[in-house]
Amino acid sequence: MVDISEPIKLACGVVLDEHQLMVETYGTLNADRSNAILICHALSGSHHAAGWHDGDRKPGWWDHYIGPDKAMDTQRFFIVSPNNIGSCFGSTGPTTINPATQHPWGPDFPPLRARDWMESQHLLMQHLGITCWAAVVGGSLGGMQAMRWSLEYPEKLLNSVVIASAMKLSAQNIAFNEIARRAIKSDPDYLAGRYLENDRVPRRGLALARMIGHVTYLSDVAMAEKFGRELNIGNFSVGEKDPIEFQIESYLNYQGDKFADDFDANAYILITKMLDYFDLSREYQNDPVAAFKHASCNFMVISFTSDWRFPAQRSREITDALVGAGRNVSYAEIQSDQGHDAFLLPNTRYEKVLGGYLSRVADQLEASTA
């Protein structure tokens, strides 16, 4: 837990006098503090990006890519992974106490933008005595933060790695987020967001929200391969009227229920709104080329062929804008059947592309240090 005692002025105008961040780090900061990578998590992510904690059912969410000899090599880099404000894994957010009321913030936590996460990460950076990130890396909403960093603090990162992301959400993306939010708000246990003070949890709504999200993270092909039309319960014999349940149904219901145990409903509403609001070039006359002219770092953009939440086309648009702005950019479109989830899953080519890029970054750092 890191206490950030400097005030932060959020985009909505509210000032948080102080805030706390749960942070994990992996690897060792080198003598000239130049080998730090910032990991930006996505909607449901946490600071726990790699390794195992006591009681973990599975390792950190990016464990496959962070560690010794992995794509983000902890023998060469110092990896900083904060849980961002507004989330629910210990950092200041809807589940923590609002000092003004001594009750959980709940629905009163101020609305956030991706830039607020970046500003909080910037204060964390100062707290750690780091003046320039070797790279800022993130997938999905994490990629949005990596892009925002390149515009707001161009001199404070050398590389921005933008994975399975987009410069703004489509109407369809917003639609799915709104249905998820309405599912939560429709749950009578939501109590206009004041469920914590009333010892209630809108589990039904939160489970539904996750189920909706989950379908959009998976590809049609991946679901067909994993579940097809296999049955969990029942059969189709004529004369049979007992219930029939497909495996995909029990899988989704399980995923929904599990998420309802782990995540906070107000945080889910808050962070999906942050996703909806993000629009990289809104303040640059809606011109992404004009936006990226403010950047000076190098970029790596990665997309996945079967991702229909943030399709490869969105990443090609990012790449085209970067090229148009005269930035150095590498772009890789990774073949995968795993949909949007691919950015979290093992994939040899993804591993090589990301590892290769960061290995060159480390080579340069070590050469300039030596």
Q: Annotated catalytic sites, by residue?
A: 140, 307, 340
- Closest distance of CB 173 from a copy of itself, Å: 9
Does residue 152 bind a copy of itself (CB under 8 A)? no
199 phi, psi to nearest 5 deg:
55, 45
CB of 370 to a copy of itself, least distance (A): 44
**Residue 191 is a binding residue for a copy of itself (CB under 8 A):** no
Rounded-to-10 torsion of CA 247, 202, 98, 112: 50
If binding means CB under 8 A, how many residues of this protein chain bind a copy of itself? 53
226 binds a copy of itself (CB under 8 A): yes
Closer CB to a copy of itself, residue 197 or residue 225? 225
For 315-321, the CB contacts below 8 A with 24+ separation are 315/162, 315/164, 315/165, 315/166, 317/166, 317/167, 317/288, 318/147, 318/162, 318/165, 318/166, 318/167, 318/288, 321/167, 321/281, 321/288, 321/289, 321/291, 321/292
Task: At 120, list the tokens.
Answer: 């909080």
Judged by beta carbon, residue 278 or residue 299, the one nearer a copy of itself is 278
Per-residue binding string, a copy of itself, 7-46, x by CB under 8 A, is ----xxxx--------------------------------
Residues of span 266-285 touching a copy of itself by CB under 8 A: 273, 276-277, 279, 282
Give the range of 27-35, 42-50, 66-74, 246-254 binding a copy of itself by CB under 8 A: 246-254
Indicate the angle between helix axes 203-217 and 247-262, nearest 10 degrees.
120
What one-letter code names the amino acid at 98?
N
Dihedral of alpha carbons 38, 44, 47, 52, sign: negative
Identify the burial level of 345 via C-beta atoms within 10 angstroms of its C-beta, where 0-12 means exposed, 13-18 middle and 19 or more buried.
middle
The residue (of 69 and 236) whose beta carbon lies closer to a copy of itself is 236
Tokens of 238: 């004529």
* Residue 124: φ, ψ to 5°: -60, -40
* Least distance between a copy of itself and beta carbon 18 (Å): 20
Interface contacts to a copy of itself, rule CB under 8 A:
11-14, 110-111, 168-172, 174-176, 178-179, 182-183, 186-188, 204-205, 207-208, 211-212, 215, 218, 220, 223-224, 226-229, 236, 238-241, 244, 246, 248-249, 252-253, 256, 273, 276-277, 279, 282
